Structure 1
Amino acid sequence: MEPSYGQIVTTSAASQIADQLQQAIMDGRLKVDERLPTEEELAAQFGVSRPTVREALKRLAARHLIRSRRGPTGGTFVTGPSPEELATSLGTSVTLLVATGGVSLEEMATARLEMEAVCCRLAAQNRTDMHLAALEAEIAQQRTASLSDQDFCASDVRFHRTIVDAAGNALLRFLMNAVVEALMPVSNMIIFRVRDRKEIVAHHETLLAALRDRDGEAAVAALGGLVRYIRAQYEKAEEARKAARP
């Protein structure tokens, strides 16, 4: 039985069609791996032109909800978006928000502190020896004086990604992708000229010690010290930027 859809008005028809098809996927009327009707059939169902349907399908493809397959058994099929794809999309959106001024530096610091604090508490309970070893390895690399700024930033991201992984919560891991994979690289780009690497490493060492002791509150306190330091570097970077203006 074909899913039924509401009437489409003339404005934003493609958007409405995409939204109705998405809703059909979300509520189970359209199943993963189910083949959609052809463009011609969808156009007849919705009472619109084929180009309008084609635009709606492009929107669904951009949301990773459908895929196309060629050949005798080809067509357009419903697909379940992978967590990795969704996380990447979320991270890209957050990066764009920061780049366009939609998120302030203070909001970045606050969001990171509050969200990663939850991960620190859970990581203190759930971390394994493998997580501790990974954190130790990143700190050892960060102590290397010859390490480039780019590689230091990459190690910084991996350090905090490991804490998120140690929390053992799939939804937090997805949500924290916006912080670790998007906000942290932006943050590092802003402060890398004014920060002291040794200071960053010292905070990482304190955080590692708290996780080793399974002390969640000490881990949150260590994270708070790190974020306060980063906030101070934001101010220094802003002062340096203003001073460099002609």
Structure 2
Amino acid sequence: MRQDQIDGGARRAVFSPVDNRARVDTVVRRLGDAIELGLLADGEQLPGESELAGQLGVSTVTLREALMALRQQGLLITRRGRGGGSFVSLPELPAEDRLRTRLRGWSTEELRDLGDHWAALSGAAARLAAQRTEPEDLIQLRRTADELTRAQGAATRCRLYGRFHVELAAAAQSARLTREQLALQGEVGALLCLVLADDSCREEVADRQRGLISAVQDGDHATAGTLAERCVREPVARLVAVRLAR
């Protein structure tokens, strides 16, 4: 599979049709998650309303409502006139007190359950990637892992961590797993800022990611799956500890 197919897999999932339930909210979550993860770049112009509505399989009325909500959240800005349209506006680091307030809305049992679900998805994606990809197909995953190794800010680390799991699902050539990973980032991804700010956590995750990529390249699907699961379980366990401490 060509590199442009790997790079494009995650982006194609962003613009694939949404489901039939609560479509405005679904569009808001889909595009918002992609912006938070950096899959849609800061300053990037979205397709025109008619084209984007067609890609997502929604009416232009539904799309306009969703775009308005994203503007209210500060994730999009609109420019008028020639060359205008809707442009991505990457958010700053969520305030720590707001994240801790959000964390209090989760019980430890809910966090552990979500971690189990997330680990299962990432493990499945890693095993499939080990069976389906060629070494040259892992360039984007390596790039994201390398960026995480150097990243300093918690927000940047959080985005790169989430992006890695989305790109892993894309490398597995599974559109459904990719969409599931996107949805999970919106559900809990930002909370990981509370643990990825710690250098030791960042280093542990980066080490696991490098080992995971090597296992995928070697076709070792068992090791790849185990490492992918650990890449999720260990940060979530730290998040549970933060929740218990509060």
TM-score normalised by L of structure 1: 0.53
Residues 1:192 and 2:196 aligned together? yes
* Residues 80 and 143 of structure 1, relative CA distance in 2, 3 Å threshold: closer
* Residues 171 and 224 of structure 1, relative CA distance in 2, 3 Å threshold: closer
Aligned residues: 160
In the alignment, what sits opposite 2:219? 214
* Residues 136 and 104 of structure 1, relative CA distance in 2, 3 Å threshold: same
Could you give the per-residue CA deviations for residues 177-227 of structure 1, whole angstroms, max 9, x where no partner exists?
2224433333x1342345521111111111111111111111111123223
**SS at structure 1 position matched to 2:152:** coil
Name the structure with the higher helix share.
2
Of the structure 1 ranges 126-135 and 196-205, higher mean CA displacement relative to structure 2 is found in: 126-135
**SS at structure 1 position matched to 2:219:** coil
In the alignment, what sits opposite 2:124? 118
Residues 1:182 and 2:156 aligned together? no
Which structure has more RCO (C-alpha within 8 Å, separation ≥ 6)? 2
Residues 1:105 and 2:111 aligned together? yes
TM-score normalised by L of structure 2: 0.53
List aligned pairs for 1:1-246, cutoff 5 A: 82=56, 100-101=105-106, 104-144=110-150, 147-186=152-191, 188-194=192-198, 196-239=201-244, 241-242=245-246
Unmatched segments (≥5 aa) in structure 2? 1-19, 28-52, 71-101
Could you give the per-residue CA deviations for residues 18-41 of structure 1, whole angstroms, max 9, x where no partner exists?
xxxxxxxx8xxxxxxxxxxxxxxx
8 Å CA contact retained: 1:160, 1:180: no
8 Å CA contact retained: 1:125, 1:214: yes
* Residues 173 and 60 of structure 1, relative CA distance in 2, 3 Å threshold: closer
8 Å CA contact retained: 1:131, 1:162: no
* Residues 141 and 175 of structure 1, relative CA distance in 2, 3 Å threshold: closer
Unmatched segments (≥5 aa) in structure 1? 1-25, 27-58, 65-78
* Residues 172 and 62 of structure 1, relative CA distance in 2, 3 Å threshold: closer
* Residues 197 and 179 of structure 1, relative CA distance in 2, 3 Å threshold: same
Amino acid at match of 1:238: R
8 Å CA contact retained: 1:120, 1:163: yes
Structure possessing the higher radius of gyration over alpha carbons: 1
